[in-house]
Amino acid sequence: MAKANPKLLLLTVGYGDGHNSAAKAIAQCAVNRGWQAEVIDPCLNASPRIFALTQNFYKFCVASAPWIWGITYYQTETADWATKADAPILRRITRYIKNLITDYCPDVVLCTYPLYAYMLDYLRQRAEINVPYGVVVTDSLEISRPWMLSDADVFYLPDEYSARLVKDCFALTDARVYSSGFPVRAAFDGRAALKTPPHSGDFRIVYGAYAPTRRVIEDVRGICSAFPYVEITLIAGARCRLFDSLSNERVKVISRTDDMPSLFENAHLYIGKAGAATMYEAYAMNLPVIVNYSLPGQEQGNIALLQTDMCGRLVNTTPDLLNLLHSLTANNAAMWQAWRSAMIAADRKGGAARIIDDVQRRFLYE
């Protein structure tokens, strides 16, 4: 018999959107089924000053120095994360997690950031906690070692290729690896982008402005010149004012939005960074993707997944982008239609529901 009113604890971190997005999507799905669910960021709550410094470093790398992030990312491959739980700089976070579990008494803990799994290993080895826990991996194909070397009871992978890869690379049993799909919010899972192909009177693009400012301006001006009928929604973030010159009746410049599902629902294409959350949200809505910016390391795997599924591509220059857009829209947008059909065939939806189903099956039958 399934346990009544189970309690789920999700441990996340605020580096990029992927970790938080995945945790919130799982929590939403759990609550919709009558569970109790809490999403907590132990780094933010236990060590706010250190977390602010590291978060600002991450933001700086994303905006201005991706090569520095690449060095940092590849250094994690050789780090021994199993020894970090009781390191002086992280000890406070480990104690915070122990107290959180003691106070909240969850039936299951899921981590969308790998560091926490090692802290849970440390606490379980010392008999300070007794709760099952799993890791929700938010990267595809390029899976770094820290994700996979903890003693977690289960690892949820965002796609079947990644699941096979980690079983081979890390000698994990089938029982500990589950290809669940990436958990996206229900607002994306239940909708679809435009079904009609772009044509001379209707071509709508959502553009995430992560690339350098000059490149964004060149891209948008080039697209508008090549496609006089295009409509672009440019999501500019903190750099919104730098793109004021682009704003006109065909280019809408916004700093951010709380309704990305509606933007995707009314678009033919997303152009932007290869972040996991946005990419899988596009997958959920069958919206083809062109990547024009990425961080070294984990995001290369996201690009590889798009290209393996044949529903997206990476471009490195404005001329490459314009050439690809011409190819996508030629012959009644045949290539665009092929990309969209490939996204539908990939069927990368419902990750949150599959994770909740598996958690219940594994841990919540009495």
Predicted local confidence at residue 69, as pLDDT: 67
Percentage of the chain surpassing pLDDT 70? 96
Average pLDDT rounded to a whole number, residues 67-88: 73
Cβ atoms 272, 284 nearer than 8 A: no
Answer yes or no: is pLDDT of 40 > 70: yes
| Tokens 């229900």, residue located | 186
Lowest mean pLDDT among 40-54, 57-71, 142-156, 257-271: 57-71
Cα–Cα distance for residue pair 48/52, rounded to 1 Å: 6
- How many other CB atoms are there within 10 angstroms of residue 179's CB atom? 17
Average pLDDT rounded to a whole number, residues 14-27: 88
DSSP track, 67-128: HHHHHHHHHTTT--GGG-TTSTTTHHHHHHHHHHHHHH--SEEEESSHHHHHHHHHHHHTTS
| Cα radius of gyration (the chain) | 21
Residues in CB range of 175: below 8 A, 6 or more apart: none
Residues in CB range of 363: below 8 A, 6 or more apart: 107, 108, 132, 153
Highest mean pLDDT among 103-112, 188-197, 236-245 belongs to 103-112
Cα–Cα distance for residue pair 279/284, rounded to 1 Å: 9
Predicted local confidence at residue 359, as pLDDT: 96
Give 15: exposed, middle or buried? Use CB within 10 Å, 0-12, 13-18, 19+: middle
Answer yes or no: is pLDDT of 276 > 90: no
What beta strand segments (E) does the chain contain?
Answer: 7-11, 36-40, 108-111, 133-136, 154-157, 177-179, 203-208, 230-235, 251-254, 269-273, 289-293, 312-314
Answer yes or no: is pLDDT of 153 > 70: yes
Confidence of residue 148 (pLDDT cuts 50, 70, 90): very high
- How many other CB atoms are there within 10 angstroms of residue 229's CB atom? 13
Q: CA 346, 178, 358, 125: dihedral to nearest 10 degrees?
A: -150
> pLDDT tens across 310-341, in order?
999 999 999 999 999 999 999 999 999 999 99
Average pLDDT rounded to a whole number, residues 179-200: 86
The CA-CA-CA angle for residues 201, 325, 342, to 5°, reads: 95
Confidence of residue 39 (pLDDT cuts 50, 70, 90): very high
Residue 121 tokens read as 């290993």
Q: Which helix (H) or strand (E) holds 344?
A: helix 318-346
Cβ atoms 17, 277 nearer than 8 A: yes
Residue 172 tokens read as 């994990």
Q: Is the pTM of this model over 0.75?
A: yes
> pLDDT tens across 254-263, in order?
998 888 999 9
> pLDDT tens across 53-64, in order?
877 777 776 677
Residue type, position 97, single letter: I
Closest of 337, 344, 313 to residue 197, by C-alpha: 337
